[in-house]
């Protein structure tokens, strides 16, 4: 586990220091949020897609 990124992800969101997280070690990863959601991406390198690091689509 990347404890440094775990800590900073929770700090960025104002969460408790031990709040649950999802760690993705091998992609690809897809999530569908059913309501307005705050999230952070922390850790290693991210792959750029269409000049954007994050692709957001409506579920």
Residue 6 backbone phi and psi in degrees, to 5? -60, -50
Domains in the chain: how many in total?
Answer: 1
Work out the pLDDT band at 10, boundaries 50, 70, 90: very high
Paired with 7 in beta bridges are none
Using the predicted structure, report yes or no on whether residue 6 has a pLDDT greater than 80: yes
Its domain, for residue 17, covers: 1-59
Is 60 exceeded by the pLDDT of residue 57? Answer: no
**pLDDT tens, residue by residue, 11-41:** 999 999 889 888 887 767 788 888 888 888 7
Instruction: Report d(CA 43, CA 7) in Å as an integer.
Output: 11
């Amino acid at each position: 586990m990347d404890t440094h990124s775990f800590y900073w992800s929770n700090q960025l969101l104002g969460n408790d220091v031990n709040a649950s997280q999802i760690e993705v070690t091998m992609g690809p990863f897809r999530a569908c949020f059913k309501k307005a959601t705050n999230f952070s991406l922390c850790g290693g390198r991210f792959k750029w897609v269409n000049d954007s690091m994050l692709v957001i689509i409506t579920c």
